[in-house]
Chain A
Amino acid sequence: MRKLAIYLMCGERTPELAEAAVEGGADLIELGFPFSDPLADGPVIRRAGEKALAEGMRTRECLECLSATRARVDVPLIPMTYASLLEAYGYDRFAADAQAAGATSLIVADLPVDTEPGLRRVQLVAPTSTDDRLTLAAERTDGWLYLVTLTGTTGAREDLSPALAGLVERARNATDVPLYAGFGISTPEQARAAAELVDGIVVGSRAVEVAAEGPAPLRDYVDSLRGALDTAVPF
């Protein structure tokens, strides 16, 4: 069964929204800890981050949000953020406190595989990654490998990136760890197409947009993605 990961920005309603996403069929929740200068993010997640920062969501509040979410759902929870927050908090302290609050792992968008190798985290690879780096990332990753589907920032696209298939093939040659694809996946059709290639998919920007409408719309949206994944032709 394909895994469905949903990304939500940390905020007051996030525990409730995470619960709705899980009810809709999400297997994993990524929790965005906002940063003032998010290099890897397009307008939707950037705006969501600005809003969260304006509402006072700093590392401490985000860890509290993580705890509150952990109290509501059983699925893996993974904070996703940028290196600057870990610099300020302390890498080891951040990892420890996140784990204590219920995090399963971490994703840091501006740490390529050979920077800060001591921090255990889910590694990201991209269509531009060399085979050597794919192998290294797969060796170091915590649980699953995050395949960024396109060369670009987060944000919905019209079609599933054509670069994904090639990246999947190279990754399969390099490793047996589960492969999840993310960036630019927003519709059930794109989800199904991606799911036919990989072990799981991540939906970010579109989930953040729908989450702004409330838990019920989010549950329905996630349910539509779940439905598409369940009808994906097994490879």
Chain B
Amino acid sequence: MTAPSRTYGEYGGRYVPETLIPALDELEQGWRDALGDPAFGTEIDELGRSYGGRPTPLTVAERFVPGKRIYLKREDLLHTGAHKLNNALGQAVLARRLGKRRIVAETGAGQHGVATATVCARFGFDCVVYMGAEDMRRQAPNVERMGLLGADVRPVEFGTKTLKEATSEAIRDWITNAETTHYLIGSCVGPAPYPEIVRELQAVIGREAREQLLAATGRLPEVAIACVGGGSNAIGLFAGFIDDGDVRLVGVEAAGAASLGTGRAGVLHGSRSSLLADDDGQVLDAHSISAGLDYPGVGPQHAFLRDSGRAEYVGASDEEAVAAFKRLAETEGIIPALEPSHALAKVLELDEELILVCLSGRGDKDLAEVLGR
């Protein structure tokens, strides 16, 4: 009974209470209809251009690592300062097509919450964002932005008080309100068809980067590298190169939240994937200086790419990320978010010379954290 889009090898699927199945079926049907309607793609492209600021530049960084040509895909220059808007815009259009009036979302670092609040303001939806109380403390500027944009930000006070619990609360809200509400998930995680939807909406990153790099150098990159929390900017970047066997795909996790590196197969938030869990199947706390990577799960397609060998996943420590953050600022005049700083940290260890990095967000939100250390 499994439809082709629902699994990535043994990963993916729909592990949710039966109550949610009709909502997922409605979403799947709406998504298929949208994909078959040229007006959907046209509207998304137009919004990306005139509202988001696409295409984002591809910036060559020649001082970050002398001797290497590093191309930064500048999702930090997208409106709201991170790649999250690509997904939020697309899902907002989808929600409107489905006739929903209310949006619910989870957020970790706050970037997805801000992107969601942004599109809700633009489209006139009611907006509820669940955020862990600990994350609200360490990403206060984003909390303020969401409020100004008209979102109702609800703190989640139990468990680890981070993204994991915020996601559970958003899903519980959706279970209760599915008729009126679209769940605007922030990464390529969750029950089918969410991982596919988010990948397709973020694939613009990889598509543009590919064209831009070919135009600039005449070549494809030797390596495409990105940070991985839930995995959406990475899957978006990778989507441009999956079928190019000579392009190495590298995902960088936070060492303390290495769901792919040190995790095991398990079920969290509606899909089977690789997660940080104990022998009993209880989900463990993730630890990262960056709220956006502080998630014990990961998108099921990444688990499949790892197992099939198409992509490799490595970990970077808090210290390595902070050092890379400062290095990019001082050598290229760009302040990255702490999340992509993990990818930048591993660039230093690569043998290849032509490297494409997804700079998934800007670092304004992280100044207090970095300067406070």
Which A residues are closer than 8 A to B by beta carbons? 35-40, 42, 46, 50, 53, 58-59, 82-89, 109-115, 117, 123-130, 133, 137, 148, 151-153
Contacts and interface: CB of A to CB of B under 8 A. Distances in A.
Contact of A83 (B171, B267, B279): B267
Contacts of A110: 15-17, 267, 270
A216 to B, nearest CB: 30
Contact of B13 (A46, A84, A115, A148): A115
B243 interface: no
B282 A39 contact: no
A27 B210 CA distance: 64
Interface of B: 1-2, 13-23, 158-159, 164-165, 168, 171-172, 175-176, 178-179, 264-270, 272, 277-283
Contacts of A117: 1
Contacts of A125: 18
Nearest to A81: B281
A39 B164 contact: no
Nearest to B172: A153
A35 B266 CA distance: 12
Given A50-B158, A82-B267, A152-B175, A126 B17 contact: yes
B158 A46 contact: yes
Contacts of B165: 37
A39 B172 CA distance: 6
Contacts of B22: 128-130
B326 to A, nearest CB: 35
B19 A148 contact: yes
Given A39-B171, A53-B282, A84 B18 contact: no
Nearest to A110: B15
Given A39-B168, A153-B175, A84 B282 contact: yes
A40 B266 contact: no
A191 B23 CA distance: 29
B261 to A, nearest CB: 18
Contacts of A84: 266-268, 277, 281-283
Give the interface centre of A84, A89, A130 by most chain B CB atoms within 10 Å: A84
Given A115-B13, A115-B14, A153-B172, A128 B281 contact: no
B18 A39 contact: no
A204 to B, nearest CB: 14
Given A109-B17, A112-B18, A40 B175 contact: yes
Contacts of B281: 35, 59, 84-89
Contacts of A53: 282
B88 to A, nearest CB: 23
Contact of B178 (A40, A128, A129): A128
A137 B21 CA distance: 13
Given A53-B282, A84-B268, 4 more contacts: A59-B280, A87-B265, A110-B17, A152-B19
Give the interface centre of B164, B165, B172, B264 by most chain A CB atoms within 10 Å: B172
A153 B176 contact: yes
Contacts of A148: 17-19
A40 B2 CA distance: 23
A39 B280 contact: no
Contacts of A151: 19, 175-176, 178-179
**Among all A-B residue pairs, the 10 with the closest Cβ atoms:** A88-B281, A126-B19, A84-B281, A83-B267, A152-B176, A58-B280, A85-B281, A114-B1, A128-B22, A36-B282
A14 B22 CA distance: 36
A207 to B, nearest CB: 20
Contacts of B1: 114, 117
